[in-house]
Amino acid sequence: MSSVAHRESESKNPYYYSRKEKSLGLLCSNFLNFYNQDGVDSIGLDDAANRLGVERRRIYDIVNILESVGVLSRKAKNQYFWKGFSAIPRALDELKEEALRENFSTSGVFHSANVSSLNHCGGPSNSKTVRKDKPSVSNKVDNRKEKSLGLLTKNFVKLFICSHEDLISLDNAATALLGDIHDPTAMRNNSAAKVRRLYDIANVFSSMNLIEKTQHPESRKPAFRWLGINGSSKNGPTSLEFNDSKRRVFGAEITNTLSKKSKSESSIDCNSNEKADMPMLMKHNNSKDTHDRSSMEQQGRYSSKGFVFGPFTPASVPKVGDSGNKNERRVKDLEDLASYRPQYHNQALSDLFAHYVAAWKSWNVEVDEKKQTQEVS
């Protein structure tokens, strides 16, 4: 059965509305297609918004997420540097280091209250000791940053790179990143609302092939699998299916029918008038593949399969037995630290961290060897 080439009937119908065609993931794919080419080195938010045919607000979402992984970096107001997929590995390394550092020293975070600190248990982080009073005034000069999409993204990534072969369920991620969803005592923290951000992040990562949406083998629980650099890089975003060369058209949204703002419709110059046609430059990726020579096999694919994480992952995960044992000493301390959670003692969180620490241990050894091997220049 030939795939439905054109479903004109639908796309033509002015009242047709499909949520999928407007997904952040798709938008991100297009974004990447436009900028992931040699020659590009800076991005203008306005330009991006015009080319993609979306409101600027959406660009901020994408840009913030991409920046967390190193693909972009802020240059100035309205301007970003394009770093490319090749910048991801380094960014991940940094995140990893940062994660470790934080875990160890975070315990004493008492006043620093700044910089990105993996303040798990979400929320106003430190202080907030017992129940001093109402949550508002005593805040620092805004902990707005602490709730940013960018930070959330980084923490999300840390979850993966700090563990070995991963398949993290949505629930676990949500629990670790934001506070516990069903936290009993107080903190009716509206984390449920924040889970939306998790979906956003997952969608753009999916479009980059950094992760993949799946579900646990048995339980139907949704989960994310880390694909790493292999997935992304070189081929850039593998077009989802066919080319979804479909760009949003300004007046087409039925939701905007009563354009309240009549935004900047008459864009600066943006000569391109034809709307139904977009240069599908996605197919032939640029030839400058990121030097992923030898592919270094990345973290092995020997993923779970062996042991499945039940819906209620029992604490102490058996842990693979291949772990080395030279760093044991140091790790030991870490584990202690991990289990010592002064505030908001959250069972699930502790388990997660314990797991990550253990995973980190073995991974570290592996990397070490690898490094020696390919240690060249």
Residues lying near DNA in the complex (CB under 7 A): 17-20, 22-25, 45, 54-58, 60, 63-64, 77-79, 141-142, 144, 147-150, 170, 190, 193-197, 199-200, 202-203, 222, 253, 255-256, 260-261
Cβ-based neighbour number of residue 206 at 10 Å: 22
CA distance to 105, 176, 214, 350, 355, per residue, from 334 (Å): 10, 18, 31, 12, 11
State the nearest-atom distance from the C-beta of 97 to DNA, in Å. Answer: 23
Between 146 and 166, whose beta carbon lies closer to DNA?
146
Record the tokens describing residue 360, joined without a space.
């980190």
Using CA atoms, how far apart are residues 342 and 225, in angstroms rounded to an integer? 31
Report which residue type is found at 174: A
Q: Tally the C-alpha atoms within 13 A of residue 52's C-alpha that lie toward its C-beta.
A: 30
State the nearest-atom distance from the C-beta of 58 to DNA, in Å. Answer: 6
Using CA atoms, how far apart are residues 328 and 333, in angstroms rounded to an integer? 9
CA distance between the termini of the chain = 53
Between 138 and 339, whose beta carbon lies closer to DNA?
138
Between 9 and 287, whose beta carbon lies closer to DNA?
9
Between 126 and 299, whose beta carbon lies closer to DNA?
126
Between 179 and 362, whose beta carbon lies closer to DNA?
179
Between 54 and 162, whose beta carbon lies closer to DNA?
54
Report whether 285 contacts 235 (CB < 8 A).
yes
State the nearest-atom distance from the C-beta of 224 to DNA, in Å. Answer: 10
Report which residue type is found at 9: S
Burial class (CB in 10 A: 0-12, 13-18, 19+), 11: middle
State the nearest-atom distance from the C-beta of 246 to DNA, in Å. Answer: 13
Burial class (CB in 10 A: 0-12, 13-18, 19+), 335: middle
Report whether 145 contacts 151 (CB < 8 A).
yes
57 Cβ contact partners less than 8 Å away, ≥ 6 residues apart: none
State the nearest-atom distance from the C-beta of 2 to DNA, in Å. Answer: 22
DSSP secondary structure letter of residue 222: E
State the nearest-atom distance from the C-beta of 27 to DNA, in Å. Answer: 8
State the nearest-atom distance from the C-beta of 25 to DNA, in Å. Answer: 7
| 3-state secondary structure (DSSP) of residue 60 | helix
Between 190 and 343, whose beta carbon lies closer to DNA?
190
Using CA atoms, how far apart are residues 34 and 23, in angstroms rounded to an integer? 17
State the nearest-atom distance from the C-beta of 370 to DNA, in Å. Answer: 34
Between 44 and 324, whose beta carbon lies closer to DNA?
44
Buried b (16+ CB within 10 A) or exposed e, 38-60: eeeeebeebbbbbbbbbeeebbe
| 3-state secondary structure (DSSP) of residue 68 | helix
Between 56 and 341, whose beta carbon lies closer to DNA?
56
State the nearest-atom distance from the C-beta of 196 to DNA, in Å. Answer: 4
